[in-house]
Amino acid sequence: MKNISKIISIVFLSLSTLLFFYIFYRSELYHLGEKHDFYLKYYIISFSFICLSLFSFFISKKIKIIIAFTNFLFIIGLYLLEIYIASTVNPYHLYNKLKKVDQDIVVLIARVDFLNEINKKTIPLAGISNKKTIQCKENVYFSIYNSDRYGFDNPNNEWDKKQVEFLIVGDSFAQGGCVNERDTISGNLRKKVETGSVLNLGYGGNGPLREYATLREYLPLIKTKRVLWIYQENSDLLDLESEINHPILAKYLNNKEFSQNLYLKQINIDKELNNILLERKKNNKKEYFIKFVKLYHLRTLFFPPKTINFPLINVLPEFERVLKESKEFVENSGAKLYFIYLPGFYRFSNKNVYYKYDYDKLYFYKKILQTLKSLNIPIIDIKKDLFEKHEDPLSLFPFRSPGHYTEKGFKQVAETIFNQIQKYENGD
């Protein structure tokens, strides 16, 4: 028993020391010391374990066994909780479950760079068409929508209308991230217009150049009065950094006649995206196991990431060019372009870690407004017109955490857009 007691202490000390050095490796070598704030809590935990393991050499074997057994049960409990959390937020868990009873179910595939990796001929700008699509979960449910004939989140018959009141482009915020279709910006706008005709061409992972490409590919297929350009301050300029160097996306800026004719390729797009879905499903198993070992979901729940990404380079000249070309293209189609500025979570957080940033400066807020003014593009500033006037802006985010908006948030955004456009068009 004495030897067993000593072995328990040695094992505990060894594991605690390994944990400490692993944290040191991640913090100081892998991340080059740039994430001290994030890893500080893990340093404290691992050091506490080392101290506790050293202390264990001096306590009775009976108490030591009790502590070891308690820790064992605690660890088992942590991993059981990790399994539960992962199963509720991983879309592929739901996909595998629903696939047994519905063969038309798919998972949203965002931001695919090429369909054919060998020839690099085509870049899709939407998802798999005519499928029930699992999107994401930030509220208490997974959002699921029926994709239209081109893979967007719309009732399919919207494409058969002679004219739609609003056509929307943007990223997942425009698409309606993690809420059902009726609660998206487009879903709420449909309730406000007499014809109920709104076409949503927003898609997860889009940046400004992808949105311009989307207009080039799909706007000629439909007639609309207004194009709503949904801009999200957290990600759009970051996305543009990579988009401007994309071999296909760059062609939209450099050649006004360029087109992939995506609407004619939907059968092939669906085929290739289904292959990607199967590959991601397979890779998800490996990712799931790694995250399971690291207690990823549990750690994220209690210690959410505090790192905020900002544009690394000034891409405003490219952004201005994209908007200029987009405005010209929209107006040539007989429509009016409106720019909708959406704020992110961080600027409204009451956590000190987020307040240390000047968001207007880091997001180029004032410069973007100046760019729009110089291009004579009307702006609807949701940051100023809604969030800064709201008594509790954090209530418009799910569980008051970083993410998309709540159902209530999207509804109020849509109402603000609708009312502001009415003011513009009435000359107020």
Task: Give the tens place of pLDDT for each residue, 364-398.
Answer: 999 999 999 999 999 999 999 999 999 999 999 99
- What are the structure tokens assigned to 109, written together? 């595939």
DSSP 3-state percent helix, strand, coil across the chain (nearest 5): 55, 10, 35
Distance CA 54, CA 50 (A): 6
Residue type, 259: S
CATH fourth-level superfamily of 108-269+303-425: SGNH hydrolase (3.40.50.1110)
- Residue 150: CB atoms within 10 A of its CB come to 23
Distance CA 92, CA 88 (A): 10
DSSP helix/strand/coil, 406: coil
Residue 268 and residue 115 in contact, taking contact as beta carbons nearer than 8 Å: yes
Residue 214 and residue 341 in contact, taking contact as beta carbons nearer than 8 Å: no
Nearest C-alpha neighbor of 364 from the set 233, 202, 229, 251? 233
Low-confidence ranges of the chain (pLDDT < 70): 1-5, 64, 118, 304-308, 311-313, 351-356, 428
Residue count of the chain: 428
Residue 363 and residue 403 in contact, taking contact as beta carbons nearer than 8 Å: no
- Residue 48: CB atoms within 10 A of its CB come to 11
**What residue ranges do the domains of the chain occupy?**
2-88, 108-269+303-425
- What are the structure tokens assigned to 257, written together? 């006649």
Nearest C-alpha neighbor of 240 from the set 207, 266, 192? 207
Report pLDDT for 358.
83
Task: Give the tens place of pLDDT for each residue, 155-194.
Answer: 999 999 989 999 999 999 999 999 999 999 999 999 999 8
Report pLDDT for 412.
98
Taking the CA atoms of residue 359, residue 362, residue 365 and residue 371 in that order, the dihedral angle to the nearest 10 degrees is: 180
DSSP helix/strand/coil, 333: coil
DSSP helix/strand/coil, 288: helix
